[in-house]
Amino acid sequence: MNTTPIRTPSTASAADTARVLTRVIAPTLGSGVIVRRRGAMALADRLEVDRSAIDLLRQLRARYGTGPLRLRLPGRSMVVVLAPEDVDGILRRSAAEFTPANWEKRAALGHFQPRGVLISRGRPRAERRQFHEQVLETEQPVHELAPRVVQIVDEEVEQLTSGQRPDALGWDAFAAAWWRIVRRVVLGDPARDDRALVEELNRLRADANWAFLAPRRERHQREFQRRLRAHLDRADSGSLAALTQQRGPGDVDAAEQVPHWLFAFDAAGMVAFRALALLATHPEQAGTARAEIAGAEPGEPAVLPHLRGCVHESVRLWPTTPALLRDSLSPMGGALPAGTGFFIYTPLFHRDGDSVPHPHEFAPQDWVDGTAQNTPALVPFSSGPGRCPGENLVLLVTSSLLAALLRRRSVQLPDARGLSPDRPLPSTLNNFELNFRMGPPETADARQG
């Protein structure tokens, strides 16, 4: 646990506060922090809003110093974190000091998981966190359900690559296959085609984008819970649903926690699709991936460290959670009252040339050799008490998916969208507009001529 003192903040001018609101916070909210808005994502891609936000925060760091920067906001004490060491110092603190159950986060996530672990405090949070860690096997690189997970992935990828357009792959087809995988892994085979479950969840998540400004749809919450509980009560063998009945504190209601898994897996699908784009445009890393796949037994669980590194890089380069939020639970000196919100803009730190070895390059090797893990401000799955408990499970599913795709098809990205090993990678990448050309499978030796 990190106990480094948080430095006394500087206070931004009214003009600089307005710049942070318009160039950092508003675009982040506009793209959809809970469920992505396609139109806003397309606009953000064209305008490179992440680059603008990063540039502004670097300018403010030069102007005010590296300590936290307090914004001039009416009715809310809020600071923006500017230094990499403060990222680690805040995220690794106890949840009793800096709670992940931040005020704005509670308003948003309350629309579809009002008693979820991320917006819980005290004893309920501890019990719910234990439930997540036990079912998801947080510390295990390969989950006990891995054989079944790999089987599900292989079956769905086989159907995806032999469908009506086996030579092309766009987001909609990929997302449909991805959600079939997710529903089977989380809830079992009977949930495979229950698209209505995800549609109900996405309605609630769309409201969650508006946080305080949208009323809660009680009827939709009840319908979503009804469908979800039916799957959980069935507890199909070989699914996480079955494990929820066997593990964790008995008074934790699985139906109140599982929505977060579905929410998180949505982001994981975007990550996997972007990782595929990186592999399609970086021959050297793709060759390493194919060699790794060739050395693994088809259909058998494997750690696949290079492919996991590719997934980590996808999240680092384009974080699906661009804003990590914490609230302090006690006053900090005479400067910050209890309840102060700490805003950590992850793209700033993931692309920081002063602390990241390859800020604008695709460098999965940094995750294989431990370089990235030793860079404290790289937090693709958050850190400390708020670290994603399903990180290893997500890495298993996404790396297995990439392996299954690359084993069956070669992949090209005709519109490379600025993705190249010869230039800095773009600060924003809209997954909805990626369209791949699929060809016959390519062997590990093919790229070596």
Alpha-carbon separation of residue 5 from 102, 330, 379 (angstroms) = 20, 13, 20
For the segment 24-37, what is each residue's pLDDT rounded down to a tens digit? 999 999 999 999 99
The region that residue 219 occupies, defined by phi over 0 for left and psi between -120 and 50 for alpha, beta otherwise, is alpha
Does residue 342 sit within a domain?
Answer: yes
pLDDT of amino acid 22: 98
Q: Is residue 92 part of a domain?
A: yes
Task: Return the residue matching tokens 């997954």.
Answer: 431
pLDDT at 3: 60
**In which element (H, E) is residue 344 found?**
strand 341-345
H-helix or E-strand containing 255? helix 254-281
Helix (H, G, I), strand (E, B) or coil at 132: helix
pLDDT beyond 60 at 325: yes
Q: State the DSSP code for 250.
A: T
Of the pLDDT bands very low, low, confident and very high (cuts 50, 70, 90), residue 80 is: very high
How far, in Å, CA of 169 to CA of 159, rounded?
Answer: 12
Angular region, 362: left φ>0, alpha ψ -120 to 50, beta rest:
beta
Distance between CA 131 and CA 441 in Å, rounded? 41
Give the pLDDT confidence score for residue 306 in this predicted structure.
Answer: 98
Q: What is the mean pLDDT of residues 80-86?
A: 95
In a domain, 67, yes or no: yes
Tokens 């494997």 correspond to 302
Counting the structural domains of the chain, the total is 1
In a domain, 5, yes or no: no
> Which of the four pLDDT bands, split at 50, 70 and 90, describes residue 446?
very low
Using 50, 70 and 90 to split pLDDT, how confident is the model at 292?
Answer: very high
The bridge status of strand 69-70 relative to strand 10-11 is parallel
Measure the CA–CA gap between 195 and 181, rounded to whole angstroms.
12
> Does any domain span residue 260?
yes
Handedness of CA 327, 382, 225, 120 (dihedral sign): negative
pLDDT digits 0-9 by tens, 137-188: 999 999 999 999 999 999 999 999 997 677 899 999 999 999 999 999 999 9
The rounded distance, in Å, linking the Cα atoms of 293 and 287 is: 10
Q: What is the overall mean pLDDT for the chain? A: 94
Largest CA distance in the chain: 66
State how far Cα 50 lies from the chain centre.
Answer: 16
- Domain with 150, as residue range(s), is 10-448
Binned at pLDDT 50, 70 and 90, residue 248 comes out as low
Q: What is the CATH number of the domain that holds 154?
A: 1.10.630.10
- pLDDT for the residue numbered 20: 98
Within-domain flag for 4: no
pLDDT at 1: 53
Instruction: Supply the pLDDT for residue 278.
Output: 98
Structure confidence at residue 4 (pLDDT):
63
Amino acid, res. 69: L
Percent of residues, the chain, with pLDDT higher than 70:
97
Q: Which pLDDT score, from 0 to 100, does residue 448 have?
A: 41
Q: How confident is the model at residue 299 (pLDDT cuts 50, 70, 90)?
A: confident
Residue 3 lies in a domain: no
Q: What is the pLDDT of residue 32?
A: 95
Which of 196, 192, 271, 174 shows the shortest CA–CA distance to 239? 192
**What is the distance, to the nearest Å, from the Cα of residue 151 to the centroid of all Cα atoms in its chain?**
24
The whole-number pLDDT of residue 2 equals: 56
